[in-house]
Structure 1
Amino acid sequence: MPSLELKTNAVIPDLKAFALEFSKESARILGKPESYITVSVTPVPIMTFAGTTDPAFTLFVISLDNINPEKNEQYSKELAAFLKKTLSLSHDRGYITFLDPGRAYLGYQSTTFATIFGK
């Protein structure tokens, strides 16, 4: 269910290896099986943040039933630490957006999660 979309102008030497590591770490951080995780990593040639083109990022985290203010604080801390460790991205060079669209607004297997799991 969780989908993470990262855009960054940071150099990623091995995109595939990074995406696989990001998938594993995202599963751990969000407390969901990796078999539910979708990760998309998009290198962006030019990105500005705070008026500069220094390495920056935007990260969108979409997940059902585990996005809330208390957990988001911890998720933000751990995701930022991962980006710092792997890509040397500073936590003050990007935004992390958390969204729980609700089960009726996320489709899977030709239906929605509201139908699969109930409302």
Structure 2
Amino acid sequence: MPLVTLYHNRKFTSDDQIKTFVSELSKVCAKTIGKDESLFNVNVIYNPYIIFGGKTDEPAFMLNILSIGTNSVPNADTPKWTADISKFLEEKLGIGSDRGYISFRDPGADYIGFGGDTITNNRLKASK
């Protein structure tokens, strides 16, 4: 159930380019984090006004990844995740790793809803 939200200030030239980028981001995040891509919800938001470090005329991003079980992952994994995703953003958007933050958070299964119930309750129902 990873929820991936990327805010950036790099304009795409076509809808096809946007769709391709979102699809590639989904695949990169799934491979990097090690969860099935079918579980991912990826949202990419263009915001021409996003700034980083007070500089309004430079590329910038903010990436939030919510994923149940992230807190149980050894901290040794998050630097690799950050490096892999940063490399992708630099290659595809031309935004350097020093122009934004990546946040990994685990809200817990009680705080994510799906199918009209929480993930916790969905798991309980499935185990019966």
Q: Give the TM-score normalised by the residue count of structure 1.
A: 0.92
* Contact residue 7 and residue 44 of structure 1 kept, 8 A: yes
Q: More deviation in 90-99 or 63-72?
A: 63-72
1:46-61 to 2 correspondence within 5 Å? 46-53=49-56, 54-61=58-65
Q: Does residue 1:101 correspond to 2:104, yes or no? A: no
Q: Does residue 1:16 correspond to 2:19, yes or no? A: yes
For the residues of structure 1 that align with 2:76 and 2:122, how far apart are their CA atoms?
27
Aligned with 1:73 (options 68, 79, 84): 79
- Find the structure with the greater CA-based Rg: 2
Name 2:43's counterpart in structure 1: 40
Tell me the SS of whatever aligns to 1:73: helix
Q: Unaligned regions of 5+ residues in structure 2, if any?
A: none
Name 2:98's counterpart in structure 1: 92
Name 2:3's counterpart in structure 1: 3
Please identify which structure carries the higher helix content. Answer: 2
Runs of 4+ in 1 over 3 A off after TM superposition: none
For the residues of structure 2 that align with 1:74 and 1:9, how far apart are their CA atoms?
24
* Contact residue 12 and residue 87 of structure 1 kept, 8 A: no
* Contact residue 61 and residue 97 of structure 1 kept, 8 A: yes
RMSD (CA atoms): 1.3
For the residues of structure 1 that align with 2:66 and 2:21, how far apart are their CA atoms?
19
Q: Does residue 1:64 correspond to 2:38, yes or no? A: no
